[in-house]
A and B are shown apart, each in its own frame.
Chain A
Amino acid sequence: MRNRDTASAGAGTGNLLEVSDLSVSAGSKALVSSLSFSMAAGERIGLIGESGSGKSLTATALLGLLPDELTVSGTAHLRGFGPDLLTASDKAMQDLRGDEISMVFQEPLSALNPLMKVGAQVAEVMLQHRTVPNRAAARRRAVELLASVRIPDPAQAAGAYPHQLSGGQRQRVMVAMALANDPQLLLADEPTTALDVTVQSQVLELISAQVSERGTGLLFITHDLAVVANMCTRVLVLNKGRLVESGDLDKIFSAPEHPYTRALLAASDLSATDGRGRLFTVETAAAYVPPALRGGTPPAAPTPQAPRSEAAAGPALISATGLGRTYHRARTTPFGPRPVVNALADVSFTVAPGERVGIVGESGSGKSTLLRILAGLDTPTSGQATVAGTSIAGARESDLVPLRNALQIVFQDPLGSLDPRMKVADIIAEPLLVPGRKLDAAGRLAEVHRMLGLVGLDAESAHRYPHQFSGGQRQRISIARALVNRPRILVADEPVSALDVSVRAQVLNLIADLVDEYALTLLLVSHDLSVVRHLCGRVIVMKDGRIVESGDTEQIYNHPAHPYTAQLISSSLDLSEELAMPN
């Protein structure tokens, strides 16, 4: 799959967009520094960078929607529009926005007005720019547009509110809205980051088809290199507000000149490992060979260092039989039954000590519910589960103390899951306060220092607060807290999905190392198939609360038996595969 091949680059004469010396600053702090680039009509440019690189600010500046407290300098010219985009009056920019330049945002649920029907929201942009004669025509055209972005039953969808649509449908509505007036330039800011993989590939395909059909120029902002490789022909790499490298996609991804580009590429590629079987990080990126130069051969299968499931002997550490969890929705009739939602249905599996098991599935597949039940944070409505000798179903909190000692969790959002008013030392030491542990304050502090060293943070960190750390460092703190009382099982719920690419590889390496060192049993939930592939020997695929397939990771990835697994694997964009596609 490669959507960029359909691009119709260079359709017109002269450049569509000329940006020179674009700078954005907050007071004396430069957020974007003299960025210059040009875009031909219908061209697709990827703007890549990590959080804080200034990529979203660049797009916002081109739309003239920067917050008042930021100052902007430089020039930006759009073909057919006289004034400079950066200095034009708000009135002039209003005529441009939604008409000649439009934007698709990251989170479609919050980007749509919750109290307005989606058809009316699409119609509004046409009425605003008077591209339709009247309201009735706008409504008709809105339904046509919803049909063109392939929303099933567009007439009915037009009358729905955003919360009644799925995430993918909401983003389709955003695309329909952005393209309603046939803009010359479409700015897409991480448009698929909040979506499931199968939905992501559909939305990317849709954007791709729509912009090439209309000859729209596309500035595609993302942190995900595989998505850029899929969508764009040219790439701009931003780091801390500076353009470090730009050029054709194939050149940049096969022969990156700047060390930062190389590091980003190396860290993004989870199929490549260094001599010691570890992922490349910013430090080890020099040894990285881009996939295009690996001769088109499929990447060597990464070898998880843990014993495989066959090798593991002895009784199961985790066993679940017929686990189910149902929720009730509000009644739809006054005295009728309350509709039942099956979050989890008939889930059975076992995990042997020392195994590394990945659970993959899309949102709503029940993977988080399953984790919560195994961790004793939720109770199943049917079935049985035994974790490290503790029976979960119907257990009282006091019965779960051994479980809390044996199983610890690392959560997705390291900032949200650390108490902002507790010092790091107290956060890490807290699990040591469980009943049965008799460590004095000095003993606990010694443990804290040991753990900090283990996760690669200095001892000084103990006296600081979570907000004083970066995302990756916070996740290290979470890992230290999870491992301080030497659990037998580590449960990780999307541990790297909130992290930047360059940090992700480091944290994954850390988890792999610690799982080895402590002989942990790992249960990893991720929507990212390549993360699971790298870390786990066995994988469980879930859909709609059920296990559809499980088995040896390589076996399943190479020969999926269930159609859903096959769809999941073919939808997920893999950097090396995207680049290996002939151009």
Chain B
Amino acid sequence: MLVRIAGNLARFLLSLLAATVLVFALMRVLPGDPAVIAAGQNASPEIVASLARQFGTDRPLPVQYWDWFSGLWRGDFGVSYVTRADISPLVADKVQVSLILVSAAMVLALAIAIPAGTLAAVRHNKPSGALVSAASQLGIAIPGFLLGIVLVSFFALRLGWLPANGWVAPGVDFAGFLSRLVLPVMALAGVQSAILVRYIRSAVLEVMHEDYLRTARAKGLSRMRALGRHGLRNAAIPVLTVTGVQFSALIIGAVVIERVFVIPGLGSMLLAAVGNRDLLTVQSVVMVLVAITLIVNLLVDVLYTVLDPRIRAAVR
């Protein structure tokens, strides 16, 4: 088991290294010299050249890459060519916001989807099961931002229970942080739980037809107890895969909800940086997104190994 996890870790580090090269190369391929953009349209060649020297973009590419890479290692993303601000603290802030938002949303989505999906599977031939399936179908069809707007107009504007938008760091005002977190998390979790219900339902249905569940019943376990003791852990394996993929996708996919609720997340930052042609910030955010995705994949792999003894000794 430890061998496998060590292997996963090694693969993770290699992928991360490859990603730095790829992201760096992609950003260089894009047209537009950062010095020319920063200097403005009417700048003289001397000014452009001095800016290029200041940014370091006049040096050979391998040197630039090494400079950036060693900065990453220290947690230093460099200084924005456009705003001249230090990028690292900004990115760190946004990462925190996005991770809190998305983690809370995924936890809520799973908390809804696991019982709902299991119910839909167990009662798949009864009206209640069909109702859950239909609700999940509907949930997938409703865009998250629409749900967000509906939630805001009801809970914030009509009832006035919660603030309509904004963000406060948890360290500054925890109650304010929580009250601003509730609505965006509900908006994100609504769609995610609808998606997860479908996967959980089919995973549980499949497990219900497995021979070992029949064995459990033949041992005298009730339907629900057999499912609880023997089924759910087996069903968790495919659900884990989807949860990982959805989590990674949501880090950036939450951008629409961030807009609706005026939340300063990574998605909004990336969108703004692309608009400003802020090359180094784009590069930094993309790198952070890649790293998060790889970390999530690593965690999913490690969890597989913990959950399934067969994977521990898999023949390649």
Residues of A within 8 A of B (CB): 63, 65, 68, 90-91, 94-99, 102-103, 105, 107, 110-116, 124-125, 128-129, 161, 163-164, 174, 177, 327-334, 338
Point out the residue from A105, A129, A334 that lies within 8 Å of B3, measured CB to CB.
A334
Verify A116–B230 contact, CB threshold 8 A: yes
Residue from B212, B221, B234, B313 within 8 A of A128 (CB atoms): B221
Closest chain B residue, CB of each to CB of A106? B211
Docked-complex contact A63 and B218, CB < 8 angstroms: yes
Q: In the complex the two chains form, is B212's CB within 8 Å of A111's CB?
A: yes
What residues of A have a CB within 8 angstroms of the CB of B7 in the complex? Answer: 334
Determine if B234 and A114 form an interchain contact, defined as CB atoms under 8 angstroms apart: yes
23 examples of A-B residue contacts, CB within 8 angstroms? A65-B217, A65-B218, A68-B125, A90-B222, A91-B222, A94-B221, A95-B220, A105-B215, A107-B211, A111-B214, A112-B215, A114-B234, A114-B309, A115-B233, A115-B307, A124-B229, A128-B221, A163-B313, A174-B215, A327-B315, A332-B3, A333-B3, A334-B3
Interchain CA distance A111-B210 in the complex, whole Å:
8
Residues of B within 8 A of A161 (CB): 309-310
Nearest chain-A residue to B231 (Cβ)? A113
* Closest 7 pairs (CB-CB, A-B): A98-B220, A98-B219, A110-B211, A97-B220, A161-B309, A125-B219, A113-B212
Q: Are A330 and B211 neighbours in the complex by a CB distance under 8 Å?
A: no
The answer to whether A96 and B308 have CB atoms under 8 Å apart is: no
Are the C-beta atoms of A334 and B308 separated by less than 8 Å? no
Interchain nearest-CB distance for B47 vs A (Å):
54
| Identity of the chain A residue whose Cβ is nearest the Cβ of B220 in the assembled complex | A98
Q: Of residues A68, A113, A329, which shows the largest number of chain B Cβ atoms within 10 Å of its Cβ?
A: A113
- Of residues 210 to 248 in B, which have CB atoms within 8 Å of A's CB atoms? 210-212, 214-223, 229-230, 233-234
Nearest chain-B residue to A187 (Cβ)?
Answer: B218
Q: Which chain B residues lie closer than 8 Å to A91 at the CB level?
A: 222
CB <8 Å contact, B230 and A102: no
B316–A330 CB distance below 8 A: yes
Q: Smallest Cβ distance from A3 to chain B, in angstroms? A: 23
B6 within 8 A of partner (CB): yes
Interface size grouping (class) on chain B: 20 to 34
The answer on a CB contact under 8 Å between A330 and B314 is: yes
How far is B313's CA from A103's CA once the two chains are assembled, in angstroms?
Answer: 30
Q: Which residues of B contact A124 (CB under 8 A)?
A: 219, 221, 229
* Bound form: Cα–Cα A107–B215 in Å: 11
Known pairs A68-B125, A330-B316, A333-B3; A163 contacts B218 (CB<8 A): no
Q: Which of B6, B218, B310 contacts A97 (CB 8 A)?
A: B218
Interface on chain B toward A: helix, strand, loop, or mixed SS? helix
- Whole-angstrom distance between the Cβ of B208 and the nearest chain A Cβ: 11
Partner of B219, one of A114, A128, A338: A128
- Chain A residues with Cβ below 8 Å from B219 are 97-98, 102, 124-125, 128, 177
Residues of A within 8 Å of B313, CB to CB, are 163-164, 330
Answer whether A113 and B230 are a contact pair too, CB < 8 Å, given A105-B211, A107-B211: yes
In Å, the complex CA distance between A338 and B308 comes to 22
A112–B211 alpha-carbon span in the complex (Å): 7
Nearest residue, chain B, Cβ from A99: B220
In the complex, per-residue mask of B1-23: 1 if CB is within 8 Å of any chain A CB, else 0: 00110110010000000000000
Set of chain B residues within 8 Å of A95, measured between Cβ atoms:
220
- Determine the residue in chain A with the shortest Cβ distance to B222: A94
B4 partner residues in chain A, CB cutoff 8 A = 330
B 258-313 contacts with A by CB, 8 A: 307-310, 313
- A98 and B218: CB pair below 8 A? yes
Which of B211, B234, B315 makes the CB contact (< 8 A) with A115?
B234
Distance (whole angstroms) from the CB of B61 to the closest CB of chain A = 34
Q: Are B309 and A115 in contact (CB under 8 A)?
A: yes
With both chains docked as a complex, state the minimum distance between the C-beta of B157 and any C-beta of chain A, in angstroms. Answer: 48
Q: A98-B218, A105-B214 are in contact. List 12 more A-B contacts (CB 8 A).
A: A90-B222, A97-B220, A99-B220, A105-B218, A107-B211, A112-B215, A113-B215, A116-B230, A124-B229, A128-B220, A128-B221, A177-B215
Shortest beta-carbon distance from A141 to chain B in Å = 15
Interfacial chain B residues near A97, Cβ < 8 Å: 217-220
Contacts of B223 in A (CB 8 A): 90
A151 to chain B, nearest CB (A): 18
Q: A98-B219, A110-B211, A128-B219 are in contact. Are A334 and B234 (CB under 8 A)?
A: no
Convert B195-211 into 0s and 1s, putting 1 for each residue whose CB lies closer than 8 angstroms to a CB of A: 00000000000000011
Contact B316 A329 (CB under 8 A): yes
Name the contact of B220 in the complex, choosing from A94, A107, A328 (C-beta under 8 A). A94
Measured CA separation A94–B217 after assembly (Å): 8
Partner of A114, one of B212, B214, B217, B220: B212
A453 to B6, CA, bound (A): 61
Q: How far is the CB of B220 from chain A (nearest CB, A)?
A: 4
In the complex, which residue of chain A has the Cβ closest to the Cβ of B213?
Answer: A113
Q: Pick the most buried of A68, A105, A107, A174: most chain B CB atoms within 10 A of its CB.
A: A105
Inter-subunit contact B6/A334 (CB<8 Å): yes
B210 to chain A: closest residue by CB: A110
* Contact (Cβ within 8 A) B6 A114: no
- Provide the bound-state CA to CA distance between A65 and B226, in Å: 13
Q: In the complex, what distance in Å separates the CA atom of A90 from the CA atom of B217?
A: 10
In the complex, which residue of chain B has the Cβ closest to the Cβ of A102?
B218
Q: How far is the CB of A93 from chain B (nearest CB, A)?
A: 8
Inter-chain CA distance A214–B233, complex, in Å, is: 35
Interface residues of B in 126-181 (CB under 8 A from A): none
Compute how far the CA of A333 lies from the CA of B1 in the bound complex, rounded to whole angstroms: 10
Q: How far is the CA of A161 from the CA of B310 in the complex (A)?
A: 8
- Residues of chain A within 8 A (CB-CB) of B10 are 334
Interchain CA distance A108-B209 in the complex, whole Å: 15
Cross-chain contact B233 with A111 (CB below 8 angstroms): no
Chain B residue with Cβ nearest A69: B125
Chain A residue with Cβ nearest B209: A67
Q: Chain B residues near A333 (CB, 8 Å)? A: 3
Instruction: Report the minimal beta-carbon distance from B272 to chain A, rounded to whole angstroms.
Output: 44
CA distance A97 to B217 in the complex (A): 8
A68 and B122 CA atoms in complex are apart in Å by 12
| B residues in contact with A111, CB < 8 Å | 211-212, 214-215
Complex: how many Å from CA A102 to CA B217?
10
Question: Taking CB as reference atom, which chain A residue is nearest B6?
Answer: A334
| Chain B: minimal CB distance from A115 (Å) | 5
Per the bound structure, the CA–CA distance linking A112 and B210 in Å amounts to: 10
**Which of B218, B222, B308, B316 lies in contact with A328, CB distance below 8 A?**
B316
